[in-house]
Structure 1
Amino acid sequence: MLSQLDKAKVFRALHTAADGFVIPNPWDVGTARVLELLGFQALATTSAGFSFSRGRPDNSMPREPLLAHLSEIAAATSLPVSADLENGFGDAPKYVAQTIRLAAEAGVVGGSIEDTTGRSGDPLYAREFAAERIRAAAEAARSLQFPFTLTARAENYFIGRSDLADTIGRLQAYQEAGADVLYAPGLTSQEDIATVVREVDRPLNVLVGFPGIVLSVNELAGLGVRRISVGGSLARAVFGEFLRAATELRHHGTATYARTAASGGALNELFSQTTQVK
């Protein structure tokens, strides 16, 4: 089993590969172990998937349960794990810094901080203050005994503000504040993504697995994207199948969904292998 320092070094090195890498998003121990067995090189948690698994909407989990979740995921896999830390669980930079330190203590080797406030009437922090928050996160990350990879997120497109110039300006401010990786979820067009890659000098993460983006992993890598994540889309895919199956059972009294379900034997065999991976 790799140490946290070893995992951190592996994770940092993945961002230098010319062909990029895919970092899928598990939401519990079982999905983390399956993704490791399938050959992925690193994992990232998903606030949406974790919230859904607890019967709650996204961005509604308090920090303490999230930290326990991070610890559980990090201990369940030999892979490096990066954490979805939402907006850092507080407006003030000191809270963001504290969240970075606590996440590191939980066992992850990286984490992302958003520039969303969580307030519907005022959804984004002002650029300068958002950069100050990233600066505090970066200082906390640099104080650790291993290279914690800090990802800064510009959420314009995710909240429905398709402003490429402001998105680029925010990402540039965050890289100057010390972010190691930049991320603007919601970008969909080849032209916009290529423009962002040209305008920043940090590895760019692009989100796939939601309506509007049709670019493949290879196409994104060809644009210079270094990391590709899927957010809550794997969790939504599983919940989609569950909803269809449960709806069939409830309203039609049939169970044709079982025809395509994984067998108990196959899952037992799969999880026997993941135990060996651990």
Structure 2
Amino acid sequence: MTKVEAFRALHRRQAPGDPLVLPGPWDAASARVFAEAGFPALATPSAGVAAALGYEDGQTPAEEMFAAVARIVRAVDVPVSADIEGGYGLAPTELVERLLETGAVGCNLEDSADGVLKDPREHADWLAEVRHAAANRLFVNARIDTFVRGAAEPKQAAERAIERAALYVAAGADCVYPIGAPTDILPLLRSGIQGPINVHGTITGDGPSPTELGELGATRITFGPGLQRRAAQALRDIAAGLAK
């Protein structure tokens, strides 16, 4: 079984209450920590990688992002999916080839740009081109930004997310990611979306656990830059102690 096949299988075997938990490494060292802890796969966060490289979120040059992903992939034996934001303006074929060169088995692709939602049908057509270029070599996670860029009212955002999800799944997306969806909206999303759903998890202990998110409809849990920011805060605390 190839790594991408193993990654797909991880999304199929999950039962309610047992979602796939994917920590987000921001460099090779953090990737090794997560792999050594026993996680079966990892998913890089673009914001976390940007911070590690000295950039603001969304400002990382494509060359540096792909190079960072390649270093993370080389550091571990488990499958790694890469958050590549909106694709850096690359044509689908080039985007796919650049990703495959890193060794990544999947990608996260956003449906907004410059703070504005993209036309869903045009984005679905673009996703279909990505899927055609990738065939079965990449697991495509289509991020849906209606909760963070669209309607302020959660139910309306959910309805729009479900509409977009249908288009993206039909275009070949393996999973959809309605980022920012409130916990109480997850059952509605689950009832209206076919296939795996990615949900953002918390690491502070004041939010629902992965088990609870799974019971509400999540197939997989990712954390965005949360782990990198938690590590950075721990380092600040250590540095403050040393500076006394």
TM over 0.5: yes
Question: Structure 1 stretches (4+) deviating beyond 4 angstroms?
Answer: none
Question: Contact 1:188–1:214 (CA<8 Å) still a contact in 2?
Answer: no
C-alpha distance in structure 1 between counterparts of 2:41 and 2:25, whole Å:
11
Aligned residue in 1 for 2:101: 105
C-alpha deviation, 1:125, in angstroms: 0.7
Q: Which runs of 5+ in 1 are unaligned?
A: 255-278
Aligned residue in 2 for 1:172: 166
What is the number of residues matched between the two proteins? 237
Q: State the percentage of identical aligned residues.
A: 33
Aligned residue in 2 for 1:227: 220
C-alpha deviation, 1:200, in angstroms: 1.1
Aligned residue in 2 for 1:271: none
TM-score (norm 2): 0.90
* 2:41 aligned partner, one-letter code: A
> Which one has the largest radius of gyration?
1
C-alpha distance in structure 1 between counterparts of 2:233 and 2:175, whole Å:
31
1:164-205 deviations in Å (ceiling 9; x for gaps): 211111111111111001101111223x11111111111001
TM-score (norm 1): 0.80
Question: Contact 2:22–2:42 (CA<8 Å) still a contact in 1?
Answer: yes
- Mean CA deviation greater in 150-159 or 20-29: 150-159
Question: Contact 2:48–2:229 (CA<8 Å) still a contact in 1?
Answer: yes
The 5 Å alignment of 1:141-220 reads 141-142=134-135, 147-159=137-149, 161-162=151-152, 163-190=157-184, 192-209=185-202, 214-220=207-213
The 5 Å alignment of 1:56-71 reads 56-71=55-70
C-alpha distance in structure 1 between counterparts of 2:160 and 2:70, whole Å:
35
1:10-33 deviations in Å (ceiling 9; x for gaps): 100000121221001000111000
C-alpha distance in structure 1 between counterparts of 2:195 and 2:77, whole Å:
26
C-alpha deviation, 1:218, in angstroms: 0.6
C-alpha deviation, 1:248, in angstroms: 5.5
Question: Contact 1:42–1:79 (CA<8 Å) still a contact in 2?
Answer: yes
Question: Contact 1:51–1:61 (CA<8 Å) still a contact in 2?
Answer: yes
Q: Which runs of 5+ in 2 are unaligned?
A: none
Question: Contact 2:139–2:174 (CA<8 Å) still a contact in 1?
Answer: yes
Question: Contact 2:198–2:219 (CA<8 Å) still a contact in 1?
Answer: yes
Question: Contact 1:153–1:171 (CA<8 Å) still a contact in 2?
Answer: no
Q: 2:121 aligns with which of 128, 140, 165?
A: 128
Could you say what secondary structure the match of 2:128 adopts?
helix
1:82-138 deviations in Å (ceiling 9; x for gaps): 010100111xxx624421221012101111110111x24xx1111111111211111
C-alpha distance in structure 1 between counterparts of 2:141 and 2:130, whole Å:
10
C-alpha distance in structure 2 between counterparts of 1:247 and 1:59, whole Å:
29
C-alpha distance in structure 2 between counterparts of 1:89 and 1:96, whole Å:
10
Could you say what secondary structure the match of 2:60 adopts?
coil
Question: Contact 2:202–2:208 (CA<8 Å) still a contact in 1?
Answer: no
CA RMSD of aligned residues (A): 2.0
